[in-house]
Amino acid sequence: MNPAGIVDAHHHLWDPARRRYPWMQRPGLEPLHRPFGPADLAREAAAAGVSATVLVQTVAETAETREFLSAATASDGLVAAVVGWVDLRGAAVADEVAELRAAPGGGLLRGVRHQVEDEPDPDWLLRADVRRGATAVADAGLVHDLLVRPDQLPAATDLVRALPSAVFVLDHAAKPPLDPDGLAVWRERVTDLARCGDVFCKVSGLFTLLPPGGGDDLLEPVVRHLLEVFGPRRLVFGTDWPVSTLAGGYGDVVRRTTALLRDLSGAERDAVLAGTARSLYGVPGPAAG
C-alpha cells in the first residue's frame, strides 16, 4: 500500500441532537440516530490505516458546510477536503461559493454536492436553473459530486456532456440494484456515463446494498464493471462512514473493499485507494499518475 496511507474520499459527520436529517427518517436507519463526530472518525481512521479523508455534506444547508470547514481545520490534517452544499437552483451560486471560501477553513472546500437521489424528478439535473448552478460550480474550479439513483443516470450523463470542462464524481456508483434485470440496466447507463470526459466514480456505499445474508461476491460484478468502463485510475475509494456501520465497522469496509480490488496491480490499487482522490480533491501526498 502507498506509504502515504489510504484516503477515505467519502464520509460524513453528524449530530441528530443539533440538526434534523430528513433522509435519516427512513425505516431501518435507526442505528444511525446518534452523534458521529471528529473524535470517532480519528479513532476509526487511525486503526484502519487511513491518513486523510474527504468530508461530504449530509443536508441541504450551507450552515453545515461552514461547520464542516471549521471541523476540517481543527482535525490536524485528517479531514483534508470538504464537499459542501450550495443551492444549485439559486441565482447566486458563485456568491455562495465565494462566501464559503471566505469562511474559516474555506480553503478546504474542494467540491459541491446536492442529494439528487431525494428529488422525485428523474430529470432534475436537466433543469435550466440546475445547469446554471452546475456551470458556476465548474467555473469556481470545484468538483461536482453526483448522488443519483439509477433512473437519474441518463440526466446525469446529459449534464456531464453539456459541461465538458467540469469535473464530476459519481457517488456510490449510483447504488446499483443487485437483481439481474436492474443490474443490466444500471450497467448500460453507467457505461454511457463513463464514456464522458472528466467523470470519476466512487467505490463507496456498496456493502449496505447487500440483501440480508448476501455475501460480498454479489458485488464482484459491480466492481468488475466499474473497473472495465472507468479503469482503476478513475475510481475513488470511500467508506461512506457512518452509514456503512449498518453493514460493518469502518475497518471492515477498508478490508472488504481492498479484497474486491485484489486482481489489480499494486499501482492500480494504490490509485483507487488513495492516489486518484489526492488528485481530485487536492489532498496532500502522492497523487495518481
Q: Where are the domains of the chain?
A: 6-281
Residue 224 has pLDDT above 80, yes or no: yes
CA 124 – CA 147 distance, rounded (Å): 12
User: For position 285, what pLDDT does the model report?
Assistant: 85
Neighbours of 31 (CB within 10 A): 9
| Average pLDDT score over residue span 161-185 | 97
Residue 3 has pLDDT above 70, yes or no: no
Percent of the chain with pLDDT over 90: 96
**Per residue in 31-60, pLDDT tens?**
999 999 999 999 999 999 999 999 999 999
| Average pLDDT score over residue span 92-104 | 97
Residue 2 has pLDDT above 80, yes or no: no
CA 50 – CA 174 distance, rounded (Å): 24
Helices 180-194 and 220-230, interaxial angle, to 10°? 20
Do the beta carbons of residue 9 and residue 204 sit within 8 Å? Answer: yes
Give the DSSP H or E segment for 194: helix 180-194
6-281, what's its fold? TIM Barrel (3.20.20)
